[in-house]
Amino acid sequence: AQSVTQPDIHITVSEGASLELRCNYSYGATPYLFWYVQSPGQGLQLLLKYFSGDTLVQGIKGFEAEFKRSQSSFNLRKPSVHWSDAAEYFCALNTGTASKLTFGTGTRLQVTL
């Protein structure tokens, strides 16, 4: 069965600093991978997705993620965080057209000014 692990429950960074949120997955074949962001009281907004091809994918709000098959990872990065990036970030995986998304437990990002 597939699974997603986000080892960091809570991360605090200063505004303007770089950010990397970790995501590891377990699945026997190439998965479809996603990062979603959830602001307080809001729904889940898609940041970026990986299906195949280029292993470095660009998303909205200046985020990018790199798929590394050898490490079963899909880490999210941003070179310079903004205070408005404070939110909960979820890595997710699915394995086919209509299959369910399996979410990680999320990483709460706090941004200090």
Which residues lie closer than 8 Å to 26 by C-beta, 6 or more apart? Answer: 2, 3, 4, 5, 72
Contact status: 97 vs other proteins (CB under 8 A): yes
CB 14 within 8 A of CB 111: yes
Q: What is the DSSP letter of 46?
A: E
Neighbouring-strand partners of residue 90:
36
70 in contact with other proteins (CB under 8 A): no
49 binds other proteins (CB under 8 A): yes
When the beta carbons of 70 and 97 are compared against other proteins, the nearer one is 97
SS3 84: helix
User: Nearest approach, Cβ of 99 to other proteins (angstroms)?
Assistant: 7
59 is an interface residue for other proteins by CB under 8 A: no
Residues forming a β-bridge with 21: 76
Q: How far is the CB of 72 from other proteins (least distance, A)?
A: 19
Q: Which residues bind other proteins (CB under 8 A)?
A: 34, 36, 42-46, 49, 51, 90, 92, 96-106
